[in-house]
Amino acid sequence: MGKKIGFIGLGVMGASMASRLIDNGYDLYIFNRTASKGESLIAKGAHWCPTPRAVADSSEIIFTIVGYPKDVEEVYLGKGGLIEGDVKGKIFCDMTTTKPSLDIMVAKKLQEKGAEMADAPVSGGDTGARNGTLSIMVGCSDEVFSSLLPCFGVMGKSISHMGAIGSGQNTKMANQIVIAGTMCGVSEALVYGAKAGLDLEKMVGTISKGAAGCWTLDNLAPRVIRKDYEPGFMVEHFIKDMGIALEEAEKMELALPSLALTRQLYLAIKAEGMGRKGTQVLVKALEALAGKEVL
């Protein structure tokens, strides 16, 4: 497999991931609904394509990381979509966090035309995307995984082959369930610490060295202390992820009460116009419950 790579989706995560591929010598063919988001990559040598279909025609391996399940379906199966292009013998990799059943369905349609597919959602936020330290959870055949591994190595640090197509998405759902509970706990700790009059930087530095230590404390708590609520990962996208996890859990006849409660708090945040802020803005929901600004 050569180095002609297609990349669709140039948002907070995708732009940095695509940039790393260019920096490591790959010839990139890109598409994004908002064309202006591709300008910095074009300046680095990427080729702009007018449609997803054109990306498929020009590339040997095609990565997608878009917003919602409806966007995945449109990019792959819609008018001018990837499946309308020259797909035979090529590999497609959806890195969007989406419904496992959707990627399984798209994979079957691609296989009917002689193409292969992987699902490979990621975790690590904007920092991980910039630094190439993402955790990548992959569902596909052994052969496809081997073909994608060099590219994964550019974008991520922890790369795990979880099983057949759909396994990556199910692993990401488990990841988001943990993050939801952790984000809630960290936010409550920050509000509590602030109200108790603690030095929050010192508090976070101290508790992060013990059993409470986690990625959220290390990476997002400092942003909250700085009152930086800009997105590494947007609230509205997290709401989408939690909804998928709850939907899949219902199919498995599972109850996830902590996840359901956290999603309700985030829905309240979105209703206040903060849907495009970072997930660390959850502290604002807790302040609203207290009836006063604490941080």
Which residues are catalytically annotated? Answer: 172
Q: Which residues contact 238 (CB under 8 A, 6 or more apart)?
A: 176, 179, 180, 266, 279
Q: Tell me the β-bridge partners of 134.
A: 156
How is residue 234 annotated by DSSP?
Answer: B
Burial of 90 (0-12, 13-18, 19+ CB in 10 A): buried
168 φ, ψ to 5°? Answer: -65, -45
Cβ–Cβ < 8 Å for 136, 120: yes
**Interatomic CA distance for residues 111 and 40, integer angstroms:** 34
Q: Tell me the β-bridge partners of 29.
A: 6, 47
